[in-house]
Structure 1
Amino acid sequence: MDLFSGGGGMSYGFHAHSSFKMYGAADVEVGKPSTGHGAIGCNATYEANIGIKPMAVDLAAIEADELAARISPSRGVDVLLACPPCTGFSRAVSKNWAQDDPRNSLVARVADHVSVMRPKVLLMENVPQLLTGNFRHHFQALKSSLEEMGYTVRASSHVLTRFGLPQQRDRALVVATAPGLPIYTLEDIWRGYSVREQAVTVRRAIGHLPAVRSGEQHHRDENHTSSALAGESLARIAAIPHDGGSWADLLRTPETEKYLIPSMRKAVEAGRLNAYCDVYGRMYWDRPAPTIKRECSHVGNGRYAHPEQDRQCTVRELAILNGFPEGYRFIGQSRKNLYRQIGDAVPPLISFQLAHAASWILGGEAPELKAAILPGSTLRADDLVVEEAQLFLA
């Protein structure tokens, strides 16, 4: 069962694993708080790829027993996936240093669903500030409730490049297991292994995709399309050097300096180029992508420009960089919401590995790491490197 199921990133790893069957999901489909329920359209994306239509219910309002009665099988579930919104914890939102977002309370409410459904395994993904930020008491409340029910809880943060994702995505992963069961995480699956540096680069992930112009849609892939840039916005990107260039490079000549917008000039005056340089920046070919955030639909929101083509990275490109298989279909009424579905998602490349960890917990058989590589994703078996200590033991 998947709560806060979004476009299916967490579910897809279990859907692709032969030992699991997705039974149900729920998501209220909020784009921005101001747009109301149903705006982001992620449930259609979920259904197109997982084959289940999620319930469009507000998990902040519905009681756990009512939800379970409507979508949970009578025998209960083995694994409960619950990834509440991370926006209220993220350090990228300045007000989160002092203001507790009401959505943060959804974390502790997950314990209510656990108490009713009694899953054998609970999995949660969020930003690291869930565990360490000013409002970590929400997680502590969840942890205490789970432990009172006899669950064992393990929570830690990781840069997911460590597990083969071609993106610098720092995330907290929470695993809880019912009494009597062991507990395993991605650290256990990857023990003794690392990944080749070239396997997690932007070039490796999207370098093979056909070129498209800004705002155009490729005729063979409706998701290979980007936010349209025109006029001075397009000229600004064209003036930024390829392969990792940023707006700060516009300062080099009077011909390009004219493309600075007021916020850029203020950053120059305040001497904070380093803190602001990713805006209107190009990705580097031979590095992992930057964190793909919820508002990744415009070059003005981060380093989301293509390394050499004069445009925003397409929906398809950012999906691949966030661990989706290349054939995943994104459905929605606006391209901006497709980008949001990707930025919100747990990378399927990672959730497939989590499915193997859950299978190990439930079945008792440790998986081979090669078996935990999601078909159709950027990671390959020959990308795995056996560490020296492991070779010595062998």
Structure 2
Amino acid sequence: MGLQASRVVDLFSGGGGMSCGYYAHPAFNLVGAADVEVGKPSTGHGAIGCNDTYAANLKVDPLAVDLSVISADELAEKMPANVDDLEVLLACPPCTGFSRAISKNWAEDDPRNSLVARVADHVARMKPRVFMMENVPQLLNGNFRHHFTALRDNLQGMGYKVHASSHALSRFGLPQQRERALVIAVASDLPLYTLEDLWRGYEVKAEAATVRRAIAGLPKVAAGATHPDDPNHTSTLLKGESLERIAAMPHDGGSWPDLLGHPDTEKYLIPSMWKAVERGRLNSYCDVYGRMAWDKPAPTIKRECSHVGNGRYSHPEQDRQCTVRELGILQGFPSDYRFVGSSRKNLYRQIGDAVPPLVSYQLAWVAQWILTGEKPDLEQVVLPNTSLRVDDFVATEAAQLTLV
């Protein structure tokens, strides 16, 4: 590792999930970030307020610029530090237009998808030694994968070596069922290493990637209340029938289908639930209003995770939505990370949009390996104050056979 920290720029920086891993690594120095802070296309720029969260934790004020409009030269000039011949460029454009969770994405190419190929302009301007991108798997295999193909072809045309693959992030210790595509590109004179190389021969214990490990130790709070010692340990207010519906669901993985067949609980089913019953779609719809299960990974935490009606976001036992803090930990953020903003809904969105720092820290170690040739020991890649621990690592069966 050199004496001078390698410079890092983060585009589409959000609440800092991708940058957090690099910030925690001593070999890197965040020198710039940019995000237009869009909550939804209809809400306009600045709505989600993620730049304040980024600055509060990572000591860099992101540029509030529209990366679909600003030129690569103009962006580089606005950066607070020199970004010529940069060491690391991170760019994680919105995944909404690729996600299979949105039905229209099967047929309509969301305009935001074009941001993926546009990233190549910033690579050409800053000339990073290492480039990384995270997105949903459909970036690589979906109907609109031509956006990634254009990016890859441009990168290769500039002399970069490119690797792209999809992963279940629980494989790397994240306590969540989250599948993501990871793209790593390196300058032609550098070796290309990946998370697969970092983890070769090892895996995490099953109990390490569970809801129980992540949040069972947090203090109880009531729905809508805020814990006095942690302003982020707060959840959406539920009352009346909404609260009664959650209370009626069995603890530890229960959901609304468990209310069927009981007159006292069937009254809590809403029309969309009855439609799912009529159509025999219980399996595809049962996560709505459901409780998490203690001894499984959490479901995928999406940007609209601020209400129990949007997915299986209810606490395994307490009658409420999981708090901002709980979902942050399940998303791999350190337990002391500060989510900033006047709207609790936007704090949830910052979490759902984020790259899990538990994983980005591992990516930072991969980048350090690429830049220096020094392979890290696996126990070095555990981000402090997250749910993963060094004693969670075990050799795979294949690795154990090799040692015999």
TM range (shorter): over 0.9
Of 188, 205, 216, the residue aligned with 1:179 is 188
Give, as a single letter, the amino acid of the residue that structure 1 aligns with 2:12: F
Give, as a single letter, the amino acid of the residue that structure 1 aligns with 2:164: A
Match of 1:147, SS state, is helix
Match of 2:250, SS state, is coil
Structure 1, unpaired ranges of 5+ = none
Give the match for residue 9 of structure 1: 17
Match of 2:165, SS state, is strand
Match of 2:64, SS state, is coil
Residue 391 of structure 1 deviates from its aligned partner by: 3.5
Q: How does 1:1-394 map to 2 (within 5 A)?
A: 1-71=9-79, 73=82, 75-394=84-403
Residue 386 of structure 1 deviates from its aligned partner by: 1.3
Residue 392 of structure 1 deviates from its aligned partner by: 4.4
* C-alpha distance in 2 between matches for 1:75 and 1:59: 18
Residue 388 of structure 1 deviates from its aligned partner by: 3.4
Deviation string 1:190-248 (CA, Å, 9 cap, x unpaired) is 00001001111101100000000000000000000000000000000000100000001
**Cα pair 2:132 2:182 within 8 Å, conserved:** yes
* C-alpha distance in 2 between matches for 1:246 and 1:155: 36
Structure 2, unpaired ranges of 5+ = 1-8
Q: Let me know the Cα RMSD of the aligned residues.
A: 0.8
* C-alpha distance in 2 between matches for 1:6 and 1:329: 13
**Cα pair 2:335 2:385 within 8 Å, conserved:** yes
Residue 389 of structure 1 deviates from its aligned partner by: 3.4
Give, as a single letter, the amino acid of the residue that structure 1 aligns with 2:103: S
* C-alpha distance in 2 between matches for 1:378 and 1:258: 38
* C-alpha distance in 1 between matches for 2:305 and 2:265: 25
Residue 25 of structure 1 deviates from its aligned partner by: 0.1
TM-score (norm 2): 0.97
* C-alpha distance in 2 between matches for 1:309 and 1:392: 44
Runs of 4+ in 1 over 6 A off after TM superposition: none
Give, as a single letter, the amino acid of the residue that structure 2 aligns with 1:67: L
* C-alpha distance in 1 between matches for 2:161 and 2:261: 56
TM-score (norm 1): 0.99
Give, as a single letter, the amino acid of the residue that structure 1 aligns with 2:289: Y
**Cα pair 2:85 2:129 within 8 Å, conserved:** no
**Cα pair 2:84 2:125 within 8 Å, conserved:** no
321-330 vs 263-272, which deviates more? 263-272
Give, as a single letter, the amino acid of the residue that structure 2 aligns with 1:26: A
Give, as a single letter, the amino acid of the residue that structure 1 aligns with 2:24: A
Match of 1:311, SS state, is coil
Match of 1:25, SS state, is strand
**Cα pair 2:84 2:127 within 8 Å, conserved:** no
* C-alpha distance in 1 between matches for 2:401 and 2:263: 59
Give, as a single letter, the amino acid of the residue that structure 2 aligns with 1:218: H
Deviation string 1:140-178 (CA, Å, 9 cap, x unpaired) is 000000000000000000000000000000000000001
* C-alpha distance in 2 between matches for 1:197 and 1:74: 41
**Cα pair 2:16 2:58 within 8 Å, conserved:** yes
* C-alpha distance in 1 between matches for 2:19 and 2:208: 24
* C-alpha distance in 2 between matches for 1:263 and 1:162: 34
Residue 390 of structure 1 deviates from its aligned partner by: 2.6
Query: How many matched pairs?
Result: 394
* C-alpha distance in 1 between matches for 2:25 and 2:295: 31
Match of 1:21, SS state, is strand
Match of 1:56, SS state, is coil
* C-alpha distance in 2 between matches for 1:388 and 1:272: 38
Match of 1:23, SS state, is strand
Match of 1:172, SS state, is strand
* C-alpha distance in 2 between matches for 1:74 and 1:326: 31
Give, as a single letter, the amino acid of the residue that structure 1 aligns with 2:383: L
Give, as a single letter, the amino acid of the residue that structure 1 aligns with 2:105: N
Residue 252 of structure 1 deviates from its aligned partner by: 2.8
Residue 393 of structure 1 deviates from its aligned partner by: 4.2
**Percent identity (aligned):** 71
* C-alpha distance in 2 between matches for 1:5 and 1:350: 15
Match of 1:99, SS state, is coil
